Structure 1
Amino acid sequence: MTGSPADCNKWSLVTDGLSCTDLATQAGISLAQFLAWNPAVSSDCSTNYWLGEAYCVGVAGGSTPTTKPTTTAKPTSTKPTPPRPTMSGSPANCNKWSLVTNGLTYTALASQAGITLKQFLAWNPAVSSDCVTNYWLGEAYCVGVSA
């Protein structure tokens, strides 16, 4: 998601039924911290809070709450966490992510990952076939899946 802090060092993926308040609680941060670190998300989490997207839940040197959450955290998945925000529609079995850096074309990203452009587009369905739509600097894209 745009606007996330450059020093974000912890990301959390939205799963089905997980509210932004629950996501913040699971990460051990306040809702205010979550919203500060994810400024594109509206204060009521009705805008720009999407299933399958990764959101910043920790920053280097950032403050952490002094008390632990009182709710029980839901189990987390063991799949790799994307290093940055992702587009919706990435496969659930994605196990390798690549980050778009300045000047990195979609063909170069696929080539660096050792995959075909066809695989890249299949694993990242939000990206248009010409990569003009939804191919963004700073976003993480799926470049590997488990069997």
Structure 2
Amino acid sequence: MVFAIRVQSLVIAVALASSATANWLPVRRTPALSARDAPGNLAPGSFSNCTSYTTAVSGDTCSMLEAAANISFSDLLRWNPELNTGCTNLAAQEAYCVGGGGDACPSLYTVVSGDTCPSVEANEGLTAAQLLALNPWLDSSCDLEIGEVLCVGPDSAPTSTVTIGTSSVTPTSTVTATVTTSTVLPTTTTATATTSTASPTHTNIASGSWTNCTTYYTVQTGDSCISIDTSYGIAFSDFLRWNPEISSTCDDLEAQEAYCVKGSPACNKIYTVASSDYCAEIESDYGLTAAQLYALNPWLDSACDLEVGENLCVG
């Protein structure tokens, strides 16, 4: 009896200590949830298969969420596509993905007073192009804000490329772009569409889309995310990551706006959903677990519903 009372007291003491420690966090965080158990107050467009969420409260900023969850701003934006790069639309009482969204940056740096992009690049052994590729939300002036969490490595690059025809931004020059491709079973997607390459003169880039991509596509009336993914041989996961303002339902694609269709890093292996496909079958065909398929395609809903023509990342 005495032993039981001592054990119970120890459990209560640990619980109280944990509670006290949690109160020092800069934001309130929801408990870690399973990959298929999103909270009821999930922010519109945020990934629904994450392992950790936090509910924003009045006064919260993106920097506070990043610091509390130890994630980069790049990942916060990727896992919560509705957030803009200025983080001016963070909504109180809505839950945001802060962990388990897939492909999290493994090396972080928190901006302090006096930091500049060149100093961060020198300290972390990065070029300006690498820093921008890892943090595509940075503006052309590379302005930094104290408390922002930068991704500083690694900078992975596509390993397999194929050349496609392109048209230049100006009628007097021609630029060749490359897109990542790989052979997949049973369907191989090949890029066939004509594109325009990125340049400082691109004036119709969609709000929130990455500004350092090598290829953009201007949406025409009747286009869909599936048709764009198919034309450029890219995974829907990459299209969403390079164009954070696009929702996972792709109902906000704007005609006459240019979207990134070639950025880095990109999925190395793509599978196009065919009639009668289901997730378990695809997982078996490609030697993936359900968790791995979700990590590669975090836009999938909890039921893993598939649509014919969708491009899944399978490796």
TM-score by length of 2: 0.24
Larger radius of gyration: 2
Q: When you count helix as a share of all residues, which structure comes out higher?
A: 2
Greater RCO structure (CA 8 Å; 6+ sep)? 1
